[in-house]
Amino acid sequence: MGSEELLAALRSEAEEKTRIMRQEAAAEAARLKGEAAAGLARLREQFQQEQARTIAAQESAILAEAERTARRARLAAAEKLAEKLYELARGLLPHLREKDYPRIFSLLAAELPPIGWETLRVNPTDAEIAADLFPRARIVPDTAICGGMEALAEEGRIRIINTLEKRLERVWPELLPALIEETEQCVN
């Protein structure tokens, strides 16, 4: 074998080794690209899952806050409606004086225990009827009372309020739900 043949053989062997190294390098590069792509896909999936969890948590928090706000608004509206209805009811109390009021006043007075009432606070227009029913009591006119009386005995230690206002106040918790229901039916 001559030097030329030797060089040709060496070149051929170098070219073959170079070709094999290039193939191996290309295969290794393809394998690394595949691993990198798979790693990126896993990272994307993890990121998307984390993003979905974060979005779901934020949506849940936003919806919960919206529900709390709506509940507060409904409660505030219900309270405002209750106040308005109470004001309307109190405003209607004077109409109870329009028909057979002396009898109503007498019935309210009859509910008081039979003790020596010293002072009766009544609407100024009820002073005469109160004086007739409680001749020994001091009658004090009070424009804040629509009807009925506030009776005091034993120097104020015994006090009974049997006014139309107090009776409305006592029965109001029972009346209010029915009034709200009726109001809602009228609105709907």
| pLDDT recorded at residue 188 | 64
Which helix (H) or strand (E) is 121 found in, with range? strand 119-122
What share of the chain has pLDDT > 70, as a percent?
A: 98
Tracing tokens 């229901």 back to the chain, one arrives at 181
pTM of the model: 0.63
Average pLDDT over residues 68-73: 95
Tracing tokens 């009228």 back to the chain, one arrives at 186
SS3 for 37?
A: helix
Query: Given pLDDT bands bounded at 50, 70 and 90, which one contains residue 105?
Result: very high
Question: What pLDDT, in 10s, does the model give residues 114-129?
Answer: 999 999 999 999 999 9
Question: What pLDDT, in 10s, does the model give residues 6-58?
Answer: 777 778 888 888 888 888 888 888 888 988 888 888 989 999 999 999 999 99
CATH topology of domain 99-187: hypothetical protein PF0899 fold (3.30.2320)
Distance CA 13, CA 73 (A): 87
